[in-house]
Amino acid sequence: MLVAEDYLPDVRRRFLLYKRIASAPDDAALTLLEEEMVCCFGPLPPPAKDLLRVTRIELPRHSG
């Protein structure tokens, strides 16, 4: 699952985006990042949606 070059052509910005997605501490942070992506680059293509979905699944679960 990759962010397509035609969605975000700048390699450096794509790399930073991957880094931000991977380091998101929780679902709220991913939601804010998703909103930022839509605002800056337009509607998310399916592979980007899948990347965020899988990242959410892999977030640590907090018991409480």
Burial 31-62 (b: 16+ CB within 10 A, else e): eebbeebeeebeebbeebeebbeebeeeeeee
Task: Quote the distance between the C-alpha of residue 34 and its chain's center.
Answer: 6
pLDDT for 52 equals 96
Q: pLDDT of 14-59, one tens digit each?
A: 999 999 999 999 999 999 999 999 999 999 999 999 999 999 999 9
CA 39 to CA 27: how far, in whole Å? Answer: 18
- pLDDT score of 62: 61
Q: Which of 22, 20, 15, 14 is nearest to 41 (CA)?
A: 14
pLDDT of the residue at 8: 94
pLDDT for the residue 2: 86
Question: Could you give the CA distance from residue 56 to residue 47 in angstroms, rounded to a whole number?
Answer: 14
Look at residue 60 and tell me whether its pLDDT is greater than 60.
yes
